[in-house]
A and B are shown apart, each in its own frame.
Chain A
Amino acid sequence: DGGITQSPKYLFRKEGQNVTLSCEQNLNHDAMYWYRQDPGQGLRLIYYSQIVNDFQKGDIAEGYSVSREKKESFPLTVTSAQKNPTAFYLCASSIFQGSNTEAFFGQGTRLTVV
């Protein structure tokens, strides 16, 4: 089955450590996105990539880094520079189909920093 997979579902890290969240898709989508979701707030865009080896900062990119070496993969690294990393992280992918552009989401990774 085609889909988008995030791993792990839950992640615990000590303060000051970098941590990498995985996102893989086999939908052959060009665009991939990382969002952060905090309680009572909407999704906020961290980074997005429209093509391999290229990515752009979203609204809250500080303290995060990404890479897009393969079309299928878009890992997100939460660095120690991120002041409040505890959150629910969602990865999405989409293919531009004009008026039918649709984003497919992974099941999310809940990161807790202690």
Chain B
Amino acid sequence: KNQVEQSPQSLIILEGKNCTLQCNYTVSPFSNLRWYKQDTGRGPVSLTIMTFSENTKSNGRYTATLDADTKQSSLHITASQLSDSASYICVVSGLYTDKLIFGTGTRLQVFP
């Protein structure tokens, strides 16, 4: 069964600190993996997309990595800001399908 698992479930850090969120998946054959940021009460917004041939991709203070062999991805947030407080969702797409597989998300809270 295609699954996407994220850890930790929740995370609290102080403003200015770095953090790393994890995503493991079993979706096969694999097409791409996206990280979304979801503010409370809003729809998710895409941060990065990784295809099987990409290892690292950055978007400002967000850096995503992908290891297609071990089926693992991480999202690293550098110099966290209060506005980074949100849920971060890992979404995996399989080949030849529009269906998306969602992780349960990591709830990040950044405190001053």
Decide if A and B are genuine partners. yes
Does A96 belong to the interface (CB within 8 Å)?
A: yes
Contact A90 B49 (CB under 8 A): no
Does B104 belong to the interface (CB within 8 Å)?
A: yes
A107 CB contact (under 8 Å) in B43, B100, B104: B43
Contact B105 A42 (CB under 8 A): yes
CB closest chain-A residue, reference B102: A43
Which residues of chain B come closer than 8 Å to A90, judged between CB atoms? 43-44
In B44-84, the 8 Å CB interface with A consists of 44-46, 49, 51-52
How long is the Cα–Cα vector from A45 to B36 in the complex, in angstroms? 16
Contact B98 A102 (CB under 8 A): no
Contact A101 B31 (CB under 8 A): yes
Contact B43 A101 (CB under 8 A): no
Q: Taking the nearest CB of chain A, how far is it from the CB of B90, in angstroms?
A: 9
Which residues of chain A come closer than 8 Å to B24, judged between CB atoms? none
B contact residues vs A (CB 8 Å cutoff): 9, 31-32, 34, 36, 41-46, 49, 51-52, 89, 91, 93, 97-100, 102-105, 107
**15 examples of A-B residue contacts, CB within 8 angstroms:** A30-B98, A40-B107, A42-B105, A43-B102, A45-B102, A48-B98, A50-B98, A88-B41, A96-B98, A99-B31, A99-B32, A99-B52, A100-B32, A103-B100, A108-B43
A contact residues vs B (CB 8 Å cutoff): 6, 30-31, 33, 35, 40-43, 45, 48, 50, 88, 90, 92, 94, 96, 98-103, 105-108, 110
